[in-house]
Amino acid sequence: MDWRPAPGVPDRAPASFLYAVRVSDDAVLLEETCLAGAPAVTVDALEARLRNRLAHRGVETGDLDERVDFPLLTAGPRRGPGWCGVGVRGTTLHPATGYSVAGSLAFADVAVTALRGGRNPVSVDAVAAHRLRAAALRALLGMNPAEQRTFFETFFGLDDRHVRAFLAPCSGTTANAAAMAAAFAAAPWGLRRRLARAVTPPTSRRRR
């Protein structure tokens, strides 16, 4: 992953990053990504940034094969006696990454087993974990581009178990809280206030 601004993009412009994944012996997937933004960087702007990055490195590009755009700011999970939301209306949409397909597919077997047993397939712990991840999204959206880049460097420098736990679609409250606490401890002091505000209820912040 390359968190540096693409050539020609001002430091104060909404942040995006390049990541590369080898998919075969002779092919590499390269994507310019805006993980989260309000407003987000448009897909056309991301394509222009990607072409500029590659051209700056002498890499020729042809047609781009993948364009992805999905919302992160949703109403969040809903759960009640005998019913629950799934997918983007439940806990299987990761609010900090937008990924939901793998989580929704994995949830199917859990849901069937729970419904057969007369239980709600969405646990209280799953809702709590989802709300923690949503707090992380709020923190990210509250950062300026330079802070976002610093945060990404900090987060992906954590112990692998924390990174995997936070990005996993079905990890519980304890694992998510541990990952967020590790990120807070590793973050520079300037970022800690933003992270703390994101997980502090508004009513608590108003009390002095």
Note the pLDDT tens digit of each residue in 37-88.
Answer: 777 778 888 888 888 888 888 877 766 667 776 666 666 666 566 566 776 6
Report the mean per-residue pLDDT for the chain: 80
pLDDT score, position 208: 47
Assign 18 a pLDDT band (cuts: 50, 70, 90): confident
pLDDT score, position 182: 93
pLDDT score, position 126: 84
Q: Is the pLDDT of residue 198 over 80?
A: no
Mean pLDDT over residues 97-118, rounded?
82
In the chain, % of residues over pLDDT 70: 84
Q: Read out DSSP for the chain?
A: -B-SPPTT--TTSPP-EEEEEEEETTEEEEEEE----TTPPPHHHHHHHHHHHHHHTT--------------------EETTEE--GGGTTSS-TTT---HHHHHHHHHHHHHHHHTT--SS-HHHHHHHHHHHHHHHHHHTS-HHHHHHHHHHHTTS-HHHHHHHHSTT--HHHHHHHHHHHHHHS-HHHHHHHHHHTS-HHHHH--
Q: What is the pLDDT of residues 131-181, one digit of tens each?
A: 888 888 888 888 888 888 888 888 888 999 999 999 887 888 999 999 999
